[in-house]
């Protein structure tokens, strides 16, 4: 159980890291209700520089009540002013340790990584994650599609 102030801090850190605007508490409550209602669980480890916040780093694992063997590593964010001090690495380790007690049935942890996220790649490699599957996202300009479709013949 994470208190409301911590949840709000975690949410602010996550949204600002991805350039989005933080949502209000009603929306956060709705996210939590949806999580519970769809049979999902979340384990969060967070770091505060002193008692009472603010949260400067967090990491999350998710899993389904109906599929305990697989846990999914979601966001890990460290506030820009606190990066490169091993916080990212150690909160992930702490969360994985905690997972052993919270979901002892877990056998696999899945994490996603883009090639250009050097920090996340370094941490995942150091923890022993191995490549399992790869995929490419493709993008095309709509104008190029229109030009292709307008070709004669
Ligand atoms: C990725 C992120 C969580 C790393 O947090 P961090 O606390 O700075 O990472 P650590 O200090 O634990 O770094 C551990 C190792 O990873 C590597 N590393 C981390 N950030 C790096 C970077 N920007 N460039 C190169 N190597 C990096 C280093 O090897 C580092 O060890 P070292 O400092 O002893 O050389 C942080 O940069 C972040 O919040 N980024 C934005 C959000 C994001 O991309 N999150 C990940 C996906 S959800």
Domain extent listing, the chain? 4-149
Give the orientation angle of helix 25-37 with respect to helix 4-17, to 10 degrees: 100
Enumerate the β-bridge partners of residue 61. 43, 73
Specify which residues 73 forms β-bridges with.
61, 111
List, edge to edge, every strand of the sheet that includes 67-78. 40-47, 57-64, 67-78, 108-111
Of 11, 84, 129, which is best to mutate to test ligand 1, by the most ligand atoms within 8 angstroms of its C-beta?
A: 84
What spacing in Å lies between the alpha carbon of 20 and ligand 1's midpoint?
A: 21
Nearest CA to ligand 1 atom 35: 84
Distance of CA 136 to the CA centre of its chain: 20
Per CATH, is 4-149 categorized as 1.10.540.10?
Answer: no
Q: Which of 15, 119, 121, 122 to mutate to test the pocket of ligand 1 (most atoms within 8 A of CB)?
A: 119
Q: What gap in Å lies between CA 96 and CA 21, rounded to an integer? A: 29
> What would the mean pLDDT of 75-87 be, rounded to a whole number?
93
Cα–ligand 1 centroid distance for 120 (angstroms): 6
pLDDT at 19: 72
User: Would you say the CB of residue 17 lies under 6 angstroms from ligand 1?
Assistant: yes
For the stretch 93-122, pLDDT in tens is: 999 999 999 999 999 999 999 989 999 999
Closest ligand 1 atom to residue 117 Cα is 44
pLDDT tens per residue, range 8-67: 888 888 887 777 766 677 777 787 888 889 999 999 998 988 887 788 999 999 999 999
């Amino acid at each position: 159980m994470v208190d409301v102030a911590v949840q709000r801090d975690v949410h602010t850190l996550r949204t600002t890291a991805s350039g989005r605007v933080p949502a209000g508490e009603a929306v956060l409550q709705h996210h939590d209700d949806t999580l519970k209602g769809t049979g999902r669980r979340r384990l969060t480890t967070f770091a505060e520089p002193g008692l009472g916040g603010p949260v400067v780093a967090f990491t999350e694992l998710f899993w389904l009540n109906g599929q305990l063997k697989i846990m999914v590593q979601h966001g890990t964010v460290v506030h820009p002013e606190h990066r490169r001090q091993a916080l990212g690495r150690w909160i992930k380790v702490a969360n994985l340790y905690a997972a052993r007690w919270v979901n002892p049935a877990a056998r696999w942890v899945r994490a996603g990584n883009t090639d250009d996220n050097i920090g996340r790649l370094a941490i995942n490699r150091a923890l022993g994650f191995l490549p399992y599957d790869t995929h490419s996202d493709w993008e095309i300009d709509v104008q190029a599609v229109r030009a292709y479709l307008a070709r004669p013949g």
